[in-house]
Amino acid sequence: MPLRVSTTACTPLEQQDSRYRKGDIIELFIIDPAEKEQCFGRTAEGMGVMVSGMLAPGDRVSARVYKVKPRYLEARAIEVLEPSPDRIEPVCPVFGACGGCKWMHVGYEAQLRYKQKKVEDSLVHIGGFGSPDVKPVLAAPEPFHYRNKVEFSCSNLRYLLPSEMAQEELSKPKHFALGFHAPGNFEKVLDLDTCYLAKECMNRVLELVRDFALERGLFPYSARAHEGYLRNLMLRYSERYNQLMVNIVTSWYDQSLMQALKERLETAMPEQPMTLLNNVTTRRNTVATGEEEYVISGAGFVTERLGDLDFRISANSFFQTNTRQAETLYDQILAVGGITAEDTVYDLYCGTGTITLYLARHCRQAIGIEVVESAVSDAQMNAELNGLRNTVFFQADLKNFHAMQEALEPYAKPRIIVTDPPRAGMHPRALDTMLRLQPERIVYVSCNPSNLARDGKEILSRGYRLTSAQPVDMFPQTSHIETVACFERVE
């Protein structure tokens, strides 16, 4: 929840006893952001503290100690005594209760500085890099309303805000919520009127679907009891072609209900090109995918454009959630990769082939490798859609070097490898497979600076050097940062 920010001046911290106990109230100065909702700070005596709460570097706060360790403390913030000059008033009224935007209380220019420092610190302290060349973060042109995909959850347990706890009569029903899960709670959902990262047309659909569900008495899904009809509302939007996908995830199919919803949406948003889908699942989880899919209206997919390429995106396909910054990211891959018309390029963890196809326009052959069969099929379809015949996609497990070697036998060895692994980074055996291919250059795309540093340390030990690291801000208002790192083989 948002911390109380003091508006009165504070006296300097008094010298305290160096012995701390659980439950002590301490004062400290916030120095750096850390993972999740934590920051790192120090007391006046120099004791390091990992403190949780919506804080900003430069804040002076009071906090309650809940764990004492030999070299540092862990504490929860109570009050901001002196706010940081980087602190601003969040635009979202439920900031702090919603788990989505954890940096909305920090000015955007400051967010960019902290993210650059986060990459630098990870490379130095985890990877052991001496003086890494980390460029200034490439800022997003739109710090708000930039997401082209949003997943809302429905629950029979609405998360009540502190301001609602003392109210005798609530303005919203307690047993229906459509929005985001409360942090750390798989059952309760915070009912949202507006998401400040979603497109305006998405927020309009959120309002319409909520009203429709309440009018019809649609029972929301209970994760604990495994019963209820309405599970999720997943929305996608194509910026280039102004196409909107509305995907309702339910526990069973009701044709007449879906037709009624179609009419409601088309009547309320007549100028908005739209496709309506119903994904149906009986699984005991809250994931917004279905075992069956019904196309109620429209094509059943949206088409987005990156550069001069079109990509067909279905309900359950992966696609970068920030279209404009995806182009920026891919242009950086091209820039640092130094790709020429004679090169063979391998794209590891290629997914639906967006990076592979983006690179294929600039090289002799681009080969995408992916373990998920459905993603490979989507990649092949996207290659056909764009008329690119110099691409090859195949399903393979990067952890099996000999199988990879056999599959790649008909193709030229890569001069450049691009790898864009999941947030957990590369499996050690997959990393070994990549390094045994001995490319001249490795372009490592990472959404997790810590794992970039860990894998980069291994790449360094195998005869490569880091030439540059370019952070790209794909996710403003959050702590997440993408980085395009380039490694060159040392001759």
Catalytic sites, residue numbers:
447
Identify whether the C-beta of residue 246 lies closer than 8 Å to the C-beta of residue 275: yes
The full DSSP string for 366-423 is: EEEEES-HHHHHHHHHHHHHTT--SEEEEE--TT-HHHHHHHTTTSPPPSEEEE---T
Q: What single string gives the DSSP state of each residue in 52-109?
A: ESS--TT-EEEEEEEEE-SSEEEEEEEEEEE--TTB---S-TTBTTBSS-SSTTB-HH
Are 128 and 457 in contact, with CB atoms under 8 Å apart? yes
Element at 232 (helix H, strand E):
strand 230-238
- How many beta carbons lie within 10 A of that of residue 17, not counting itself? 8
Q: Are 112 and 482 in contact (CB under 8 A)?
A: no
| 25, burial (CB in 10 Å: exposed 0-12, middle 13-18, buried 19+) | exposed
What letter would DSSP give residue 171?
S
CA dist 75 and 24 (Å) reads 9
Whether residue 433 contacts residue 293, with contact meaning beta carbons closer than 8 Å, is answered with no
183 close to 99: Cβ distance less than 8 angstroms: yes
Residue 488 — φ and ψ, nearest 5°?
Answer: -115, 140
Burial of 483 (0-12, 13-18, 19+ CB in 10 A): buried
**β-strand pairing of 464-472 with 482-489:** antiparallel
In angstroms and rounded to an integer, the radius of gyration of the C-alpha atoms of the chain is 25
